[in-house]
Chain A
Amino acid sequence: MIWLTWRQFRVQALTAAAALAAFAILLAVTGPHLASRYAASAITGCHGFGCQTAAITFLSQLQAASPYPIVYLLGLALILVAPAITGIFWGAPLIARELETRTSALAWNQSITRTRWLVVKLTLTGLAAMVVTEALSLSYAWWADPIGRAIDLGGSTSLFSGGRFSSLIFATHGITPLGYAAFAFTLGTATGALIRRTVPAMAVTLAIFAAAQLAMPLAVRPHLIPPDHAVAAIESADLDFGNLTATVVPGRPGAWILSSGAINTAGRVVSTLPTACLGPLSGLKPSAPGPCLESHGFREAISYEPASRYWPLQWIETGIFLALALALAGFCFWRLGRRRT
């Protein structure tokens, strides 16, 4: 059965391996240059506030230097899209194509049960999908490490701005790619088993997976662990014409800020701040709105996940997708076990 799985899968496997190799070569060629740029930048040996300035300089110079911005975006896109591709092209046809071409009658009438057939197919192809996605993620993480470190130092440009908790970075780094890959692959297989036609199954797989990819950062991830809360003095830099958006939690470097807002002396959330401190809407910002607001009793309330929760969040998110993958695989076994062909 392993032989048959490999024989039917080898073209796709070699295609994936070739794509992975091409991407690895691209990273291997540009990576060392990126690292030496970082080593030669002012970040080396910086102190205090100088580090942020150095990081900003490093990142903005990098953004202007081809091919780093392209590789940066291409890598993110590949890791996000790889699970969808394996789900569509490896998962969806796995059962659907056998039913469509009626080769299921051939495959399931050899001296091996269709449960065993599915165990081997799902395991081998599914593991391949996970390995490919995680390999992309790990090699990319190695390449982008200097950029990540500069962002952690407070550096930011229009392109290089996402810390490790930002939606795109979180879902493409660590172990979450494993979960996404397993989920997308079994989703494809299950929709194929349900719809029994390859092309519609591919379309449905893409739609559901894209929805899951959007729903996770928007609606699920912020609620996985109840956030911590902090109250701090209002930073002038966090104010933008009366809108308060916190960027750091004092004493909690690298925290993931879920929400922030102004509160008054009674601890109530306020939506409007006194214009006396903010100045006219169209005019220049007053030099120090923060201390002014503080003297009126306003403070900044922040809900956040501390940096130490990065790995627990990674494990929970990966666990959710792996559990969904197991449930979908179970559905495939149940569907085949009902022997509806």
Chain B
Amino acid sequence: MSAVIETDGLGKRYRRQWALTDCTLSVPAGHVVGLVGPNGAGKTTLLSLATGMLAPDAGTIEVLGGRPGAGPAQLARVGYLAQDAPVYAGLSVADHLQLGARLNPGWDAGLARGRVDRLDLDPGQKAGTLSGGQRAQLALTLAVAKRPELLVLDEPVASLDPLARREFLADLMEAVAEQELSVVMSSHLVGDLERVCDYLIVLVGSRVRVAGPVDELLAAHHLLSGPRRDPDKLPDGLEVISASHTDVQTTLLVRTTGQILDPAWTGSQVGLEDLVLAYMSQAAGRRRRDHRHLEVQK
């Protein structure tokens, strides 16, 4: 299957600060991809690069085989719901649908009207007076009704209350199932993505830490506990993602392709949330160590 997003050494810099570095990814089509990471990790930067809102400072990015935002045809293939779901406050819901119809040759008017009816949006209401959830639904309607092949959603549920969050995601999954869309959506909360994503990218400190199908990631990671020992003296083929110690016990989250044979360890399955948190804290720890190192050098 071809890739929806293919990057090679992709980087983006704001003044002298790199918001995204050395990002090499190949996201296959037909997935609902979750892009997770803490605030400021570079999620929005990566998604903006994928939609052509930003141009890269290093490396290359191809979306659906084309340069992001390169022309009307490329723009038509990608639907984008930006952070906080911006809409024109002074324009009504109907105006927004009109806007979508006028600016997109592939506009599906029936789909758009159906969604607005189903979501109980008043066509005459000004978008500026909609609730956060309604605004997100309206923006999603615009992005979906242009019939894209890839839907890019930047923190679509961040500003929504739990109920609106659930409704939005259920509605999104319905649209995905109907239209056979590929989706890339970001969130700083794993919980939001756990139910809907089957592919995960963890982005921390402007770098991609891990990426892959969710079931493969879960199969390759194990939580090990056993008597206390130095994590450096583990057999080859085990990559320690995080380690915690008590006086007598060591708990490790490891990544391996093989079986855990050492009888001293008790292995257990790891949840998606623990997995993501382990990568986040690993990156944070690495940064702290780097920082100390620098201070010593001074």
A106: B residues at CB distance < 8 A: 82, 86-88, 139, 142
User: What count of chain A residues pass the 8 Å CB interface test?
Assistant: 23
- CB pair B89–A111 under 8 Å, yes or no, is no
Whether A110 and B139, one on each chain, are in contact in the complex, defined by CB atoms closer than 8 angstroms, is no
* B98, chain A: closest CB distance, angstroms: 7
Contacts of B60 in A (CB 8 A): none
Bound CA span A340–B84, Å: 19
CA of A60 to CA of B109 in the docked complex: distance in angstroms?
68
Q: Which residues of A contact B75 (CB under 8 A)?
A: 109-113
Distance, CA A340 to CA B56, complexed state (A): 10
Q: Is A339 an interface residue (CB 8 A)?
A: yes
Q: Closest B-chain residue to A341, C-beta based?
A: B53
Q: What chain B residues lie within 8 Å of A104 (beta carbons)?
A: 53
* Alpha-carbon distance between A102 and B80 when the two chains are bound, in angstroms: 13
Q: Which segment, of A1-9, A226-234, A277-285, A298-306, faces chain B?
A: A1-9
Taking the complex as formed, is A44 at the interface, i.e. its CB lies under 8 A from any CB of chain B? no
For B105, list chain A residues within 8 Å (CB): 111
CB distance from A119 to the nearest CB of B (A): 13
Determine the main DSSP class of A at the interface with B. Answer: loop
Which residues on the B side are within 8 Å of A108 (C-beta)?
A: 53, 69
Give A112 to B101 CA distance when docked, in angstroms: 12
Is B78 on the interface with A (CB-CB < 8 A)? Answer: yes
- Docked Cα-Cα span, A7 to B48, in Å, equals 27
Identify the closest chain A residue to B88 (Cβ). A103
Which residues from chain A contact B88 at a C-beta distance below 8 Å? 8, 101, 103, 106
Q: In the assembled complex, which residues on chain A have CB atoms less than 8 Å from the CB atom of B82?
A: 102, 105-106, 109
Q: Are A113 and B86 interface neighbours, CB within 8 A? A: no
Which B residues are CB-close (under 8 A) to A339?
Answer: 52-55, 69
Chain B contacts of A47 at CB under 8 A? Answer: none
The answer to the question of A268 belonging to the interface, with a C-beta cut-off of 8 Å to chain B, is no
Contact A338 B55 (CB under 8 A): yes
Bitwise, B142-164 to A at CB < 8 A (1) or not (0) is 11001000000000000000000
Q: List chain A residues, Cβ under 8 A from B84.
A: 102
Q: How would residues 109 to 130 of chain A score, 1 for a CB under 8 Å from any chain B CB and 0 otherwise?
A: 1111110100000000000000
Instruction: Give the one of A1, A7, A106, A339 with max B CB within 10 A.
Output: A106
Residues of B within 8 A of A4 (CB): 99, 102-103
Type the 1/0 row for B70-107, where 1 means its CB is closer than 8 Å to any CB of A. 01110110111011101111110001001110111110
Determine if B86 and A105 form an interchain contact, defined as CB atoms under 8 angstroms apart: yes
Residue B51, interface by CB 8 Å = yes
- Partner of A103 from B51, B87, B146 at Cβ < 8 Å: B87
A1 in contact with B89 given A7-B95, A111-B75 (CB within 8 Å): no
B95 and A110 within 8 A (CB): no
Residue of B nearest to A110 (CB): B103
From A3, A8, A103, B102 is in contact (CB under 8 Å) with: A3
Q: How far is the CA of A340 from the CA of B51 in the complex (A)?
A: 12
CB of A123 to closest CB in B, whole Å:
17
Q: Mark A70-108, 1 if CB is under 8 A from B, else 0.
A: 000000000000000000000000000000011111101
* Distance of B273 from chain A, by nearest CB (Å): 30
With known contacts A338-B55, A341-B48, A111–B87 Cβ distance under 8 A: no
B73, B89, B102: which contacts A101 (Cβ < 8 A)? B89
| Bound-complex Cα distance A304 to B66 (A) | 63
- Cα A145 to Cα B143 with chains together (Å): 57
B101 to chain A, nearest CB (A): 9
Task: For B142, list chain A residues within 8 Å (CB).
Answer: 106
Cα-based distance from A109 to B153 in the complex (angstroms) = 12
Tell whether, in the assembled complex, residue A111 and residue B80 are in contact, meaning their CB atoms are under 8 Å apart: no
Kindly supply a per-residue 1/0 record for chain A positions 144-180, scoring 1 wherever the CB is within 8 Å of any chain B CB and 0 otherwise: 0000000000000000000000000000000000000
Q: Tell me which residues across on chain B come within 8 A of A116, comparing CB atoms.
A: 72
Residue on A with the closest CB to B53?
A341
Q: Name A's B-contacting residues (CB within 8 A).
A: 1, 3-4, 7-8, 101-106, 108-114, 116, 338-341
Nearest 9 Cβ contacts at the A-B interface = A105-B82, A110-B103, A111-B76, A109-B80, A102-B86, A111-B104, A339-B55, A341-B53, A103-B86
Given A106-B142, A109-B75, A112-B103, 20 more pairs with CB closer than 8 A: A1-B103, A3-B99, A7-B91, A8-B88, A101-B86, A102-B84, A105-B86, A106-B82, A106-B88, A108-B53, A109-B51, A109-B79, A109-B80, A109-B82, A110-B100, A110-B103, A112-B75, A113-B71, A113-B75, A116-B72
**18 sampled A-B residue pairs with Cβ under 8 A:** A3-B99, A7-B91, A8-B88, A105-B80, A105-B82, A105-B86, A106-B82, A106-B87, A109-B75, A109-B80, A110-B99, A111-B72, A111-B104, A113-B75, A116-B72, A338-B55, A339-B53, A340-B55
